[in-house]
Structure 1
Amino acid sequence: MGAAMGCGVGLTIGFIFGGYSILRGGAGPRGVLPTLSQYMLSSAATFGFFLAIGSVIRNDSQLQFEAARLQTASPMLRTRADGLTLMRSRWDAERRREQH
């Protein structure tokens, strides 16, 4: 995902800076389209590379593994009576805090 986003950003930045460079200094001996495409492709490759590395580093963290483990873990099952008792005890605790 990082590589795709980086390539998109790189193509846009390459188009902007390449277009400015062509307007400012001329296209050169190769022409407008090859010059612009070189700017765009080199910028897309650079941005895509660095954003891909960043996304791998970010997704490789321990927190990501812990979140995935918690999603696949089975939930703690309680009976209705246990849930009702827990809810009443929390309500009582809230009432006591409000009274003081």
Structure 2
Amino acid sequence: MSGAAPQRAPAGPTVWQKSKMGAMMGTGVGLTIGFIFGSYSIIRGGAGPRGALPTLSQYMLSSAATFGFFLAIGSVIRMDSEMSSQFEAARLRLSAASPVMRSREEGAAMIRRRWEMEKNLHQQ
């Protein structure tokens, strides 16, 4: 017998790591969106009584906080882990009941055959 330990598959990211990654991505997106909308608002309506930089930073920070929060939650909710056996069975039942996809040519040929059958029935 060999003394080597069995190899395990590398584990995926933890829930905390996924949450941090989602929050960082959301914060980056939020800062960008906040900069775009804040700049547009300042250009269109003026800086307001506080000035341009505080107004722009308020837009950017509020947008970053909102996007970061929701992307952190969304990245945790959308786990790529194994589904339970009940969900897997339901997915298989639904996929078996779905209609068969056909090409455009097959669909057109089917419609022509049906028209010919109806035309023959009406002529008799």
Q: If the length of structure 2 is used for normalisation, what is the TM-score?
A: 0.49
Q: Distance in 2 between matches of 1:8 and 1:62?
A: 26
Q: CA deviation at 1:63?
A: 1.7
Q: Deviations over 1:5-64 (max 9, x none)?
A: 0000000000000000000000000000000000000000000000000011112x6428
- The one of 44, 54, 79 aligned to 2:74: 54
Give the 5 Å matches for 1:35-54.
35-54=55-74
- The percentage of aligned residue pairs carrying the same residue is 84
Q: Distance in 2 between matches of 1:13 and 1:36?
A: 11
What's the counterpart of residue 24 of structure 2?
4
Q: Distance in 2 between matches of 1:9 and 1:57?
A: 19
Give the 5 Å matches for 1:21-100.
21-59=41-79, 62-63=81-82
SS of alignment partner, residue 28 of structure 1: coil
Q: Deviations over 1:54-89 (max 9, x none)?
A: 011112x6428xxxxxxxxxxxxxxxxxxxxxxxxx
SS of alignment partner, residue 63 of structure 1: coil
Q: Distance in 1 between matches of 2:39 and 2:67?
A: 18
Structure 1 unaligned blocks of 5 or more: 65-100
Q: Name the structure, 1 or 2, with higher relative contact order (CA <8 Å, separation 6+).
A: 1
Structure 2 unaligned blocks of 5 or more: 1-20, 84-124
Q: If the length of structure 1 is used for normalisation, what is the TM-score?
A: 0.60
